[in-house]
Amino acid sequence: MAATAPLLVELLTEELPPKALRVLGYAFADALVTDLREDGFVPSDGKFTVFASPRRLGVLIDDVVARSPDKPVEFKGPSVKVGLSADGSPTQALMHFARKQGVSVDQLTRVQDGKQELFVYRAMAAGSELATSLDAKIEAALGRLPTPKAMRWGERDVEFVRPARGLVMLHGERVVPGKVLGLESGRVTRGHRFLGAGAITLAHAGDYERALERDGKVIANFERRARAVRERLAAAAGGATVAADDALFDEVTALVEWPAVYEGHFEKAFLEVPQECLMLTMRQNQKYFPLVDGQGRLSNRFLVVSNMEIDEPRQIVRGNERVLRARLADAKFFYDHDRRRTLAARVDGLAAVTYHNRLGTQLARVGRIERLAVLVARRLGADEALAARAARLCKADLLTGMVGEFPELQGVMGEHYARHDGEPEPVARAIEAHYRPRFAGDALPADPIGDSLALADKLDTLAGIWSVGGAPTGDKDPFALRRAALGLARILVEHRLPLDAADLAQEAAAAFAPGAPATVAAEVHAFVLDRLRSYLRERGYAADEIESVLADAPGRLDLVIARIEAVRAFRALPEAESLAAANKRVRNILRKSEFAPGDADPALLREPAEQALHAALGRIRSDVEARAAAGAYADSLRLLARVRPEVDRFFEDVLVNAEDPRLRTNRLRLLAALAHVLNRVADISRLAQ
Confidence band of 176 (pLDDT split at 50, 70, 90): very high
Amino acid identity at 544: D
Between 187 and 46, the higher pLDDT residue = 187
Between 123 and 291, the higher pLDDT residue = 291
The pTM (predicted TM-score) of the whole model is 0.81
The pLDDT assigned to 1 comes to 46
List, in sequence order, every beta strand (DSSP E) within 108-187. Answer: 109-113, 116-125, 164-171, 174-175, 179-180, 183-184
Q: Per DSSP, what are the bridge partners of residue 680?
A: none
To 5 degrees, how large is the angle CA 243–CA 249–CA 253?
145
Confidence band of 72 (pLDDT split at 50, 70, 90): confident
The pLDDT assigned to 689 comes to 66
Of the candidates 579, 567, 683, which has an alpha carbon nearest to the alpha carbon of residue 634? 567
The overall average pLDDT reported for the chain is: 94
Q: Which residues contact 75 (CB under 8 A, 6 or more apart)?
A: 101, 120, 121, 123
Encode pLDDT of 438-456 as tens digits: 988 899 999 999 999 999 9
**Contact (CB, 8 A) for 609 and 649:** yes
DSSP state of 659: S
Confidence band of 248 (pLDDT split at 50, 70, 90): very high
Which of 155-164, 204-213, 518-527 is the least confident region? 155-164
Helices (H), 262-313: 275-280, 286
* Mean pLDDT of the 401-429 span: 96
Distance in angstroms between the alpha carbons of the first and the last residue of the chain: 49
Exposure of 429 in the CB half-sphere (CA atoms within 13 A): 13
C-alpha dihedral over 179, 184, 187, 191, to 10 degrees?
-110
pLDDT > 70 fraction of the chain, expressed in percent and rounded: 99
Confidence band of 235 (pLDDT split at 50, 70, 90): very high
Amino acid identity at 208: Y
Q: Which residues contact 540 (CB under 8 A, 6 or more apart)?
A: none
